[in-house]
Every structure is written in structure tokens, then in C-alpha cells.
């Protein structure tokens, strides 16, 4: 049952004076439950409790933390239809998306559990040579982490999403600043985490969930001295604001923010000549998937002027027009989409290619494809802006030189895609593709950027403003690296070392011993 209260560890609390309700965007009406925004006292209580829990949780064996994550996944699944119904009511997203996102959420929890049981993630390094100091290094958890729930993924990037799963795997207690758009979904998932913590004997305070309707809760959490790191998925404005708050603390802390991206797509001449219809249909579907509310939405398509490019644009517009408009996450997000789209469409020099104009339900968004010449795109940075929704700009470049100039002028991105059907063509565009690589976190060949596989090789991040630190990812098993730091033991007695660093390698993990990767004992 949803109470509207905050979880301060395993305590339900509602001391705050500010209340709010979530919105059903499909019905354009408020949902029933009042949610209580966390008070300053509740925020401090959660932070101090997390700091105390860290003393125990950071020392718990990997296999026990793995059990905790697995039971969280079990408890989320045990919520059954109530979770799925609440998700749909608060997001306007369909049942298929709800089921898929729940599966992704539980799947990544179990993937981190498997990583913990294998154990090599701690990156044990040993340098043991006669006549020199005995040096051994290992990764240890940072401390309590604040996770900001994302608006566009109520499960996979929110309460028990990738940031929370990776932080808990690292040994860090987590306080979630629940997203106000899906606070009920967040409370249900929080209840599952609390049950899992109790069942597996985790310390009280290993997890808390705080409601918030504005910026106060997030700002106060980020400033609290007990907090050692922040995970954020959202806008450039929100992410950069948190980075500044964290940097201005007496003791600065890292903010790992995944922010804006228009995800450029290079469609090379060979792809236009041989696969134009296929790519037009695929990209119409990608641009409108989730009503364009994916951070990997292809908002920019680049090609060199030709008859084939014009044909591709025509087919892309027709395929996009065929698709029915769908519901956005919230009236405020629909309003923001219309505002950002209007700002772009107030500029001069573009051509609108989609023609669909129809009456829709209040929070449904009409998709748009526009084209602009390369010289205009270079002169007017408004065309570079991310329009969060089903919107994409096709840039018609004069030649390879102008295409390269545009790539060099772009900000950092989450993804960059190359469409090509003749590998011999690669040499002609090698410099362009190398420059694209330096702008992105994930380089895709002959596919669409929407869809992010949860695996150890994934990078979901990129140069600023795609993320606040391009060295890290918010998706995949290496996301755990954000919440740890290296510690070196010098000349310590073997029996006093962490098991991962002891001579006999009792955990049987991969270790780098005198610069050789091995599972052997010393």
C-alpha cells in the first residue's frame, strides 16, 4: 500500500509540511495519494543513519551483499500488478514498457549480484618483490551515496535502478531523492528494498527514500557532510547545478551526472544508395520511441547533399507521419517540449518535413522532422539544442569538409552512429569518424542509438554535457567504479590484509600480481 510517506531507513515518516500529488498524464488528472516532502530534520536523519550504516555495510562480504541485491529483485517482482498499475498511472507509459523496465531493473540487480559473487571487481593489485616494499592495492567504497530518480525511467534509472544497484554493490548505503513524477512507484520499490534489507540482515539505514516536489531536498542532501557522492540522471541545468553545489562544499564530493545529448547520426552515401528505405523506417521508429523521451533519442542526422539524401528525408518524414502520437510523461514535460520545439521553429532557414497536424489528447506530442543546410546549422546554435521529445533535425552538408566541421563544433554526446553499407567508404570518412569518436561515449555502427544494453562493456556517458565525467558510465557493471576509491596497503602482515589481497587468494579472484593477471596464490 502506498502511504505517501518517506522511508528513513525502515521508518515511515511524514514530518514535512509540503505535500503534492502525482499526475496521470494519460487521463490528465491527479492521482489520489498525497506525498509528504521530506523535512530538513528527516533529510539529516536519513544522512546520519546512512553514515552509521556504512560502518557495517562497507565490511559485509560480497556474497552477503549479492544476496541482498537478489532479494531486492525478488521483492520487486513480488509487488506484482500493483507496481505495474502504479507505474502506468504515474507515467502514461504502456504496459509493455512497464513490464520491460521491471525486467531490466531486476536483471541489473542480479547482474551486480553475480559480479559480487565472482569478486574480481575489487581490482586487487599486488607488487611483491624482494628488496622492495610490499605494495597491495584494492578498491573500497566511498560512503553514503545520494541517487536522484530520473523522470523518464521510473524503474530502471530510479529507486532501485542502475545508480542504486551499483552503489549498493560497491558497499555504499543509498538515499534516493525520489522523482516527484512517479513518487508512488518509488515508494513501492523502496518498500521492496527495505524488506530485502531486513530479510538479509543489512544494517538499518543502508537505504532511505525521500519524497521531493522541488529542489530543497536534493540540495540539502548534496550539501550534507555525511554524503560522499551523488548519482543524477536528468537535465543539463539540474546536473550542472548539483555539480556546483557539491564543488562548493567544505569537502567537495563527486557528482556523476548523465545529462543532455542529441546523439548525432552520420548517414554515409553508401547507406543512402542501398538501404535508404530501411534506415528511414528504423529512424522514424527510433525518433518516436517512448515519445522521444529517451536520452539516446537520435535528435541529429547528418548527411552530404545528394538526390539520395533528399529521397531519404522524404521517406523519413512519411514514415514518421504514419506513426500515431503518444503520451508524454507529464504535462510539464509536454509543455517543455512544445516550448523547446517552438524556439527552434522560430528560427530562419529550416524546412519542416513532417506534415501531420491533428488534434491529440492533452499530453500527447506531435512528432517533427526538420531539415537545415550545414552552413545555417553552424551559424545558429539553436538548432544544436536537445528537444526532449519526438523531434529530429536533418542537416544537409555541402561536403565531407563541412560535415567534419560540424562534428568538431558539437558538444559532448552519449552516442554517435555511423550508417554505412560499403566498408571501402570508411577511408573517405576516417577523419570524420575519428572526430565523432572523440565527442561520444558510445560509437554505433549500422543501428539506432535508442536501447542501452546492460553489460560490462557498455558506456552510458560521454564528454560534457552528456555527462559530468566522461571516464565513467551509469549503465553496466563498470558503473560500480563511480562509488569506490583505491587504497594501498604497504608492508602489512598477510593475516591483517583484506582477503582479496592475502597471499593464498582465499576468494579465488583475478588479481594483478607483479603486473600479471592471475588467480594463483603467491
Active site residue 172: no
Count of CB atoms situated within 10 Å of the CB of 365 = 23
Query: What confidence score (pLDDT) does residue 359 get?
Result: 75
202 and 239 assigned to the same domain: yes
- Residue 88 is assigned to a structural domain of this protein: yes
At 403, which CATH number? 3.40.309.10
229 and 276 assigned to the same domain: no
- Residue 405 is assigned to a structural domain of this protein: yes
Residue 515 CB partners (closer than 8 Å, separation 6+): 127
217 and 250 assigned to the same domain: yes
176 and 319 assigned to the same domain: no
φ/ψ of 264, rounded to 5, equals -60, 145
Query: What confidence score (pLDDT) does residue 434 get?
Result: 97
Query: What confidence score (pLDDT) does residue 386 get?
Result: 96
Active site residue 295: yes
Query: What confidence score (pLDDT) does residue 354 get?
Result: 87
Q: Residue 332 and residue 154: Cα distance in Å, rounded?
A: 16
- Residue 373 is assigned to a structural domain of this protein: yes
186 and 95 assigned to the same domain: yes
The catalytically annotated residue of 42, 67, 258, 308 is 258
At 217, which CATH number? 3.40.605.10
**Helix or strand run (H / E) with residue 209:** strand 207-210
φ/ψ of 142, rounded to 5, equals -75, -40
Q: What are the beta bridge partners of residue 326?
A: 365
> Taking the chain (522 residues) in consecutive chunks of 10 residues, what is each chunk's mean pLDDT?
97 97 97 98 98 98 98 98 98 96 98 98 96 97 98 96 98 98 98 98 98 97 98 96 98 96 97 95 97 97 98 96 95 96 96 83 95 98 96 98 98 98 94 98 97 93 97 97 98 97 98 97 94
Residue 323 CB partners (closer than 8 Å, separation 6+): 284, 285, 288, 367
336 and 287 assigned to the same domain: yes
- Residue 501 is assigned to a structural domain of this protein: no
334 and 185 assigned to the same domain: no
**Residues 258, 238 contacting (CB under 8 angstroms):** no
Q: Which domain holds residue 283?
A: 264-445
Number of structural domains in the chain: 2
317 and 220 assigned to the same domain: no
Query: What confidence score (pLDDT) does residue 357 get?
Result: 74
Query: What confidence score (pLDDT) does residue 451 get?
Result: 87
203 and 270 assigned to the same domain: no
Query: What confidence score (pLDDT) does residue 358 get?
Result: 74
- SS3 track for 332-400: HHHHHHHHHHHHHHCCCCEEECCCCCCCCCCCEECCEEEEEEHHHHHHCHHHHCCCCCCEEEEEEECCH
Query: What confidence score (pLDDT) does residue 356 get?
Result: 73
- Residue 496 is assigned to a structural domain of this protein: no
Query: Which class for 165: exposed (0-12), middle (13-18), buried (19 or more C-beta within 10 A)?
Result: buried
- Residue 502 is assigned to a structural domain of this protein: no
- Residue 61 is assigned to a structural domain of this protein: yes
Q: What are the beta bridge partners of residue 301?
A: 265, 394
15 and 93 assigned to the same domain: yes
Q: Residue 299 and residue 369: Cα distance in Å, rounded?
A: 9
Q: Residue 483 and residue 254: Cα distance in Å, rounded?
A: 9
112 and 223 assigned to the same domain: yes
What dihedral do alpha carbons 263, 266, 271, 275 form, nearest 10°? 20
The catalytically annotated residue of 172, 243, 295, 327 is 295
- Residue 489 is assigned to a structural domain of this protein: no
237 and 271 assigned to the same domain: no
Amino acid at each position: 500500500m502506498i502511504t505517501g510517506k518517506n522511508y528513513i531507513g525502515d521508518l515511515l515518516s511524514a514530518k514535512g509540511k509540503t505535500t503534492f500529488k502525482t499526475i496521470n498524464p494519460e487521463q490528465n488528472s491527479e492521482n489520489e495519494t498525497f506525498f509528504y516532502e521530506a523535512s530538513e530534520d528527516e533529510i539529516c536523519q536519513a544522512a546520519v543513519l546512512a553514515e552509521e550504516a556504512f560502518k557495517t555495510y562497507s565490511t559485509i562480504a560480497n556474497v552477503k551483499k549479492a544476496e541482498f541485491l537478489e532479494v531486492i529483485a525478488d521483492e520487486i517482482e513480488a509487488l506484482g500488478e500493483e507496481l505495474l498499475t502504479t507505474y502506468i498511472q504515474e507515467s502514461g507509459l504502456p504496459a509493455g514498457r512497464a513490464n520491460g523496465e521491471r525486467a531490466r531493473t531486476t536483471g541489473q540487480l542480479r547482474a551486480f549480484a553475480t559480479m559480487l559473487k565472482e569478486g574480481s571487481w575489487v581490482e586487487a593489485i599486488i607488487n611483491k618483490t624482494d628488496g622492495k616494499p610490499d605494495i597491495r592495492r584494492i578498491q573500497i567504497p566511498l560512503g553514503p551515496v545520494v541517487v536522484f530518480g530520473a523522470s523518464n525511467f521510473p524503474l530502471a534509472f530510479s529507486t532501485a535502478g542502475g545508480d542504486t544497484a551499483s552503489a549498493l554493490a560497491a558497499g555504499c548505503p543509498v538515499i534516493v531523492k525520489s522523482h516527484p513524477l512517479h513518487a508512488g512507484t518509488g515508494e513501492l520499490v523502496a518498500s521492496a528494498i527495505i524488506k530485502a534489507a531486513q530479510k538479509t540482515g543489512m544494517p538499518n539505514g543502508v537505504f532511505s527514500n525521500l519524497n521531493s516536489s522541488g529542489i530543497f531536498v536534493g540540495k540539502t542532501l548534496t550539501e550534507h557532510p555525511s554524503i560522499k557522492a551523488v548519482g543524477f540522471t536528468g537535465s543539463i541545468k539540474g546536473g550542472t547545478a548539483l555539480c556546483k553545489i557539491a564543488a562548493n562544499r567544505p569537502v567537495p564530493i563527486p557528482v556523476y551526472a548523465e545529462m543532455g545529448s542529441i546523439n548525432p547520426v552520420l548517414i554515409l552515401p553508401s547507406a543512402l544508395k542501398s538501404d535508404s528505405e530501411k534506415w528511414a523506417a528504423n529512424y522514424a521508429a527510433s525518433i518516436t520511441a517512448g515519445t522521444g523521451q529517451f536520452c539516446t533519442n537520435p535528435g541529429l542526422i547528418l548527411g552530404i547533399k545528394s538526390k539520395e539524401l533528399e529521397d531519404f528525408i522524404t521517406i523519413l518524414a512519411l514514415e514518421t507521419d504514419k506513426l500515431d502520437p503518444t503520451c508524454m510523461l507529464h504535462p510539464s514535460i509536454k509543455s517543455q517540449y512544445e516550448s523547446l520545439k517552438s524556439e527552434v521553429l522560430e528560427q530562419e532557414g529550416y524546412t519542416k518535413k513532417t506534415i501531420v497536424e491533428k488534434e491529440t489528447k492533452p499530453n500527447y506530442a506531435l512528432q517533427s522532422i526538420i531539415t537545415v543546410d550545414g552552413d545555417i546549422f553552424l551559424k545558429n546554435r539553436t538548432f544544436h539544442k536537445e528537444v526532449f521529445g519526438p523531434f529530429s533535425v536533418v542537416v544537409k552538408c555541402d561536403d565531407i569538409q563541412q560535415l567534419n566541421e560540424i562534428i568538431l563544433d558539437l558538444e559532448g554526446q552519449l552516442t554517435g552512429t555511423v550508417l554505412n553499407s560499403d566498408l571501402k567508404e570508411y577511408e573517405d570518412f576516417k577523419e570524420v569518424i575519428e572526430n565523432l569518436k572523440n565527442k561520444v561515449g558510445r560509437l554505433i555502427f549500422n543501428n539506432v542509438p535508442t536501447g542501452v544494453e546492460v553489460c560490462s562493456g557498455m558506456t552510458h556517458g560521454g564528454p560534457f554535457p552528456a555527462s559530468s565525467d566522461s571516464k565513467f558510465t551509469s549503465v553496466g557493471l563498470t558503473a560500480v567504479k563511480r562509488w569506490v576509491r583505491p587504497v594501498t596497503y604497504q608492508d602489512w602482515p598477510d593475516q591483517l590484509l583484506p582477503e582479496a589481497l592475502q597471499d593464498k587468494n582465499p576468494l579465488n579472484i583475478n588479481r594483478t600480481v607483479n603486473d600479471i593477471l592471475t588467480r594463483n596464490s603467491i
